[in-house]
Amino acid sequence: MPPLSLVEQAEQLRDLARQFEALHARVRDVSYTPGTDALRRISPLLLKAQDLTATIVVRLGALDGSAYASVAGSRASLECLASVVIASSLAGNDLASALYANPYEGAPFPGYPADDEAVRTARHAEAIPRMTGHLADAAHQLDLCATGCHYVATGITRDLAAAQEHAKPVQRTPAAPPRPSASRTPPVRR
User: What are the CB-based long-range contacts (under 8 Å, 24+) for 114-122?
Assistant: none
- Residue 119 CB coordination number (10 Å): 11
Determine the Cα–Cα distance for residues 144 and 16; give it in Å rounded to an integer.
12
pLDDT value at 185 more than 60:
no
Taking the model in full, what pTM does it have?
A: 0.81
pLDDT per residue as tens digits for the range 14-57: 999 999 999 999 999 999 999 999 999 999 999 999 999 999 99
Q: Work out the burial of residue 140: count CB atoms within 10 Å of its CB; fewer than 13 is exposed, 13-18 middle, 19 or more buried.
A: middle
* Cα–chain center distance at 93: 16
Beta strands in 43-166 (DSSP E): none
pLDDT of residue 182: 55
Determine the Cα–Cα distance for residues 7 and 166; give it in Å rounded to an integer.
18
Determine the Cα–Cα distance for residues 144 and 83; give it in Å rounded to an integer.
9
pLDDT of residue 134: 98
pLDDT value at 174 more than 80:
no
pLDDT per residue as tens digits for the range 102-157: 998 887 788 887 778 888 889 999 999 999 999 999 999 999 999 999 999 999 98
